Structure 1
Amino acid sequence: MGGRPSSPLDKRQQKQLRGQVDTLLRNFLPCYRGQLAASVLWQISQELGPQEPAGCQLLHSKKLPRVREHRGPLTLLQGHPPQWQPIFCVLRGDGRLEWFSHREEYENGDHPLESTPLTGYTVLTSQSEYLRLLDALCPDSSGDHTQEEPDLLLETPVQFPLFLQHPFRRHLCLSAATGKMQQAWSLALQGGIRLRGTVLRRSQAPAARAFLDAIRLYRQQRGHFGDDDATLGSDAEVLTAVLMRQLLPELRSQTLPGLRESGRARAWSWTKLLDAVHASVLAGASAGLRAFQPEKDELLVALERTIRPDVEQMLQLQARVAGRLQAEVQGPLESCLRRKVDMQLPRVTQTLLSTLEAELTVVQTLLTQGMDRLSRHLRRSSSGARLRKEVYSFGEMPWDPELMQTCYHEAEQSRGRLGQLTAPFGFFGTQSLVFGAQDLAQQLMADAVATFLQLADQYLTTALDCDQAAQQLEKVGGRVLKKFRSDSGSARRKFIHGWLLCIFLPFVLSQLEPSCKAELPEFEGEVLAMGSPALTIEGIYEDVVRGVLLQRINQEKSSVHWSLAASPHHKPSSCFRRRFREGFPQWFSQFSFQRGTCTLHGFLLFCHRIFIFPQ
């Protein structure tokens, strides 16, 4: 399932898909325009409103999110008929997987045989688990899996497999040479999948916020109120996932009966068809969003120009209508919360809190061990090369997949429990939630590492010997841990608030839909008279419901004791090996590490510039 042959879609089917993408864009873009306006209003109101004291004590790392590049030989099941063939794979820093026939092609800068973004994939390392998934994909009444070529190949034991499964794309069947290579590739691929999946949720741009809100509203208008993992990926990938979910029932009913194969070969043919449909939809969605980009840029400028002068009047109107609307819906809303939310809210809150506490406890432990290790080596070692290695390893900690997996595992373990608790509310986005918790751990680790390096640069001087410098590092470590505990409490509060709203708000809106929505037209005239797309009666109504739900959420804080401090959003950073290796010799040659005289100051200054302030 590696090579990509000619598309199984004929011209009529491709034309039909283009029409469906055009319909999607025609219906979605008005939602997007409206949410762009609402997002600009929200951003301006935040600027003009009372400013909360800064809750962030750690230095904000300035690196762009990426994963550590990983490369090496693998075998791939590909071709017609499929065979295991050796390839050279490269996981790029942006989460794309490329493969070449030979290492030399990669080293010569040749184009890869193929390249695929890892958005939406899942990594499986169990052959039996993958075969069960494949059998469930296209159940075959005959139950005969013995005569098909793919079945025979997959039945042959693969010692160190790496199966990449996607709900709408072809599967990639890979194999490593050793268990150690399998583990390293599995962790690297999971990092790439997470990076690709959380690109919109990490963004603080008004357009990203507006896009996610528009997707939610677009789906709610079509009766889909629950949150799920459709919002993983870029804007075009999210739109593609939304349409693929709409098309899937029809594709199954019309296509599966016509597949001639049986057993797992039938499942392979099905994934081949899905991959072709997905590629066609993605191309159309990407083209449509590119065409909309100039209009979006002009619209954001125009909205800023028209909303800012009238923002106070708009906010006063919003508050006045919200007060009247809340009085109207308070009864049904309170009844809904008492009957259907209040019993489960503490359990979901506690599960989220315990998940984050377990994960961030591991982060703090790893951070403490890393700082202690630097102090020990400074006391005991006169080797500049050894210190260079230790400082570099410390700076790499947030981007070390094996090290950080001990943190990420804590979030992964809670997936099943969270799924059980939230499914009754129509929430099926546990993968997005787990990714968010893992991103948070990486962000806090990156910020703590950057803060330690900067403070070490400030406090270490050439007048200190190694023992004195080690003592200073220990004091710096204590300060960093104090800052980390403060910021982790703030980030925990923000994370739990955000995800509790994602879980419960769509459910509450769906429960109120029949009764409360009917009351909205009588409030609409005053809002329409304002004449701004940033204010809609539906938006004010949702703000009212959100506000009451937030009051319920805040009532939980006293019982579970989570921090109340505000926390800005951190973006994860990365470390660039090449810049370190190229820049190091010209700096390091200036310094010596002797027992009596500590010149670690200059060395850490270099590390500070490499890790904290990239050019």
Structure 2
Amino acid sequence: MGISPSSLLDESKSNYIRGCAEAELKEFSPHYRRQYSVVFFSQVQDELEQQKEKIKQLLKQRGPPKAGEVLYEEQVLHFDYTRKWKERYMVVRANYCLECHDSFEVRWCVCVSIADVKEEFAPPTIGMPGQFPVYLRLPYRRDYYFCFRQEARQDAFLSILSDCIRHQNQDFLKKKTVEVQAFLKAVHLYRQEKGCYDSWNMLIGSDVRVLANLVMEELLPSLEKDMLPHLKAKKTERKRVWFATIEAAYILVQECLLEGLSVLKEECKTAACQQEVLIRSDMDLILHSRTYLEGKLRASVSEPAEKFCSEGVQPYLASILEELMGPISSGFQEARLLSDNQMDQLCQDFQEGGVTDKLKQPNLLSCYQRINSLHDQLHDLQERFGFSNISNLVHSTQIDLQQLIENAAYSFELLLYKAKETSTDNVGSAMEKSRHMVLKQYDYDSSTVRKRIFQEALVGITLPHIKKNLAATCKTDLQGLEQFIDADYSNFVHVENIYEGILLQSLGKEVSKVVKDAASLNKHNLFTDSRDPLSQTSRSSLLSIPSTPSSPARVPFSPTHLQSSTFIQTQPETQPQAEVPAPAKPVSPDLS
């Protein structure tokens, strides 16, 4: 069905693409190996010293859903490569992959503005079997088209696609495992080695997709130069064939990286297991070696780092925080009101004799849109700090909000269950008390989550800017310091990591100060660390409720201006986990 990859890439071109992917992985691997050892060491250190204080949240959280649980299923109209509309059966499961049954397509994408679809092979709006279209778009992929006869079905489809976008963009990156944290740090250092300090809007999805995006950034220009002039197709078909060719190359790159990266991760895991005995026995000596090197580094880089931070960053932190707090806090506050309305309605239904033990999940579309306004609020950060990856911040924040609302709903359900068991004579009053308790818990958790978001965002926006501006000054200071590391411990102590740690300490003090100042003024209902809106009795009464894993609530979201991407999977049992890139890189050269 359509054009097969094998017909687009001959053997020599396929071998060239594989070679590019293998070369990229080979160049990246030393960074990953180093960071894996460093992160693994830090994990063992935290375990032994138990230094890290876990941030407590008071609302209860459901257990993870079963992987095969169906969140969405629907029959949709799809415009295929025969240029005909055909029905396809779409399913989204708890892994947020979109499956397309009775189709041979492998991966898809999303955007929903007709103005953005200018390809000659796009379906004509005249004669479309439904008046509510959805256009799917993904970097390095062909566009795909769906339509619906009812607006409600289009809204439901867009809602689940939006969930797929957020979760497949961010879920992998949010993991705190050694593998993921080592990979993220390795990618940052790898790009910095190439002189790229700015935020990267293709740092999304799994490790395979991120590396594939790195490969395609360098590979695409050569494909355009070598293949585009020799493209054999009619003028009306050139774009379709070209995008199909790019997609074939992208899939080939991922297949190659999936195998190589799996081997690399297994090697690092094995090496870490072998190193663990040394880490545990020589922990004090390793820490001494690291402290000694840190002292050497601090003596040479602290002064320029603190000077630049105080002059080029600190004066702007408060204003950046203000721009962050408005949209994010308004989204969280509106979600609180919606959740309160749902709980209030359930209490009223009980008084009137209605069914009472299931809380409806509120439609968070308006809350997501408030957070999405960060794109406008933070627009000037590109010029001053080189920060353009606002979409990642938006998606990550929306996921945090969605989780918080799900926690509130689950906590309320648990309290209702407990109230029915212990207050059989006055359940209505117990329900009202439960509602007020959940709202207080929500306020506390909302403040905790938002402060974390603000701190991470401020660091994410400004730290790359600091490193870029100090590179010329401090680079010479970093050279030659490896000689001060004990050879037996060189896997766990690295100059670049210690250097970044010093910068983070200087920046972290300033970031913590502006966030604490905002909390002390009670801006946007932020609490200081000493303020607890709950009595110890109220807190313990909720924390003692037994937790029962169940399915997650479904959050509708149907934007009309979305431009992003998602993934369709036809064989979920054989395909690697997929992810959702953000705005597409330009891949449409002059094809006329």
| Global fold match (TM > 0.5) | yes
Aligned to 2:372: 412
- Give the Cα–Cα distance (whole angstroms) in 2 for the partners of residues 92 and 331 of structure 1: 53
Change (3 A) 1:411 1:266: farther
Does residue 94 of structure 1 match 2:52?
no
Aligned to 2:500: 542
- The structure 2 residue matched to 1:433, chosen from 393, 399, 404, is 393
Does residue 487 of structure 1 match 2:445?
yes
- Give the Cα–Cα distance (whole angstroms) in 1 for the partners of residues 235 and 443 of structure 2: 54
Does residue 498 of structure 1 match 2:498?
no
Larger displacement relative to structure 2 (424-433 or 46-55):
46-55
Aligned to 1:52: 53
Render the CA deviation track for 1:129-184: whole Å, top value 9, x for unaligned. 322xx5xxxxxxxxxxxxx6x26736777721111111111211111112221111
Is the CA contact (8 Å cut-off) linking 2:65 and 2:549 kept in structure 1? no
* Deviation of the 1:9 alpha carbon: 0.8
Map 1:224-263; keep pairs closer than 5 Å: 224-259=196-231
Change (3 A) 1:89 1:54: closer
Is the CA contact (8 Å cut-off) linking 1:55 and 1:565 kept in structure 2? no
- Give the Cα–Cα distance (whole angstroms) in 1 for the partners of residues 246 and 289 of structure 2: 49
Is the CA contact (8 Å cut-off) linking 1:375 and 1:470 kept in structure 2? yes
Aligned to 1:138: none
Is the CA contact (8 Å cut-off) linking 1:74 and 1:177 kept in structure 2? no
Aligned to 1:69: 71
* Deviation of the 1:606 alpha carbon: 12
* Deviation of the 1:49 alpha carbon: 4.5
Is the CA contact (8 Å cut-off) linking 2:60 and 2:547 kept in structure 1? no
Render the CA deviation track for 1:260-290: whole Å, top value 9, x for unaligned. 6687743323221110111000100111122
- Give the Cα–Cα distance (whole angstroms) in 1 for the partners of residues 319 and 230 of structure 2: 47
- Give the Cα–Cα distance (whole angstroms) in 1 for the partners of residues 197 and 292 of structure 2: 27
Does residue 185 of structure 1 match 2:144?
no
Q: Secondary structure at the match of 2:493?
A: coil
* Deviation of the 1:611 alpha carbon: 5.5
Does residue 162 of structure 1 match 2:134?
yes
- Give the Cα–Cα distance (whole angstroms) in 2 for the partners of residues 412 and 261 of structure 1: 41
Q: Secondary structure at the match of 1:344?
A: helix
Unaligned runs of 5+ in 2: 520-525, 531-544, 553-592
Change (3 A) 1:611 1:280: closer
Change (3 A) 1:377 1:344: same
Letter in 2 for 1:449: A
- Give the Cα–Cα distance (whole angstroms) in 2 for the partners of residues 264 and 549 of structure 1: 54
- Give the Cα–Cα distance (whole angstroms) in 1 for the partners of residues 217 and 74 of structure 2: 35
Change (3 A) 1:311 1:359: farther
Aligned to 2:188: 216
Is the CA contact (8 Å cut-off) linking 1:71 and 1:91 kept in structure 2? yes
Map 1:254-293; keep pairs closer than 5 Å: 254-259=226-231, 265-293=237-265
Does residue 125 of structure 1 match 2:97?
no
Aligned to 1:22: 22
Aligned to 2:405: 445
Aligned to 1:36: 36
Is the CA contact (8 Å cut-off) linking 1:41 and 1:311 kept in structure 2? no
Aligned to 1:171: 143
Map 1:106-145; keep pairs closer than 5 Å: 112-114=102-104, 116=106, 121=109, 123-131=110-118, 134=119
Letter in 2 for 1:211: F
Q: Secondary structure at the match of 2:202?
A: helix
Letter in 2 for 1:11: E
- Give the Cα–Cα distance (whole angstroms) in 2 for the partners of residues 163 and 255 of structure 1: 27
Is the CA contact (8 Å cut-off) linking 1:73 and 1:176 kept in structure 2? no
Is the CA contact (8 Å cut-off) linking 1:61 and 1:447 kept in structure 2? yes
Aligned to 1:458: 418
Change (3 A) 1:263 1:21: same
Is the CA contact (8 Å cut-off) linking 2:62 and 2:548 kept in structure 1? no
Q: Secondary structure at the match of 1:86?
A: strand
Render the CA deviation track for 1:372-415: whole Å, top value 9, x for unaligned. 1221111111x5xx33xxx3343xx2xx7xx1223222222222
How many residue pairs end up in the alignment? 528
Render the CA deviation track for 1:508-543: whole Å, top value 9, x for unaligned. 111111120101234332224453311111111111
Aligned to 2:4: 5
Q: Which has the higher helix share?
A: 1
Aligned to 2:514: 556
More relative contact order, 1 or 2 (CA 8 Å, 6+ apart): 2
Is the CA contact (8 Å cut-off) linking 2:372 and 2:394 kept in structure 1? yes
Q: Secondary structure at the match of 2:74?
A: strand
- Give the Cα–Cα distance (whole angstroms) in 2 for the partners of residues 263 and 423 of structure 1: 39
Q: Secondary structure at the match of 1:91?
A: strand
Aligned to 1:516: 474
Aligned to 2:305: 333
Does residue 153 of structure 1 match 2:124?
yes
- Give the Cα–Cα distance (whole angstroms) in 1 for the partners of residues 490 and 161 of structure 2: 45
* Deviation of the 1:609 alpha carbon: 6.1
Is the CA contact (8 Å cut-off) linking 1:348 and 1:422 kept in structure 2? no
Let me know the Cα RMSD of the aligned residues: 2.8
- Give the Cα–Cα distance (whole angstroms) in 1 for the partners of residues 440 and 290 of structure 2: 41
- Give the Cα–Cα distance (whole angstroms) in 2 for the partners of residues 264 and 412 of structure 1: 37
- Give the Cα–Cα distance (whole angstroms) in 1 for the partners of residues 508 and 9 of structure 2: 48
- Give the Cα–Cα distance (whole angstroms) in 1 for the partners of residues 430 and 209 of structure 2: 49
Render the CA deviation track for 1:400-452: whole Å, top value 9, x for unaligned. 7xx12232222222223324324542323222111100110011112222222
* Deviation of the 1:240 alpha carbon: 0.9
* Deviation of the 1:501 alpha carbon: 1.9
- Give the Cα–Cα distance (whole angstroms) in 2 for the partners of residues 216 and 380 of structure 1: 58
Is the CA contact (8 Å cut-off) linking 2:454 and 2:515 kept in structure 1? no
Aligned to 1:109: none
Letter in 1 for 2:46: Q
Letter in 2 for 1:20: C
Aligned to 2:590: none
Unaligned runs of 5+ in 1: 101-111, 135-147, 567-604
Change (3 A) 1:356 1:262: farther
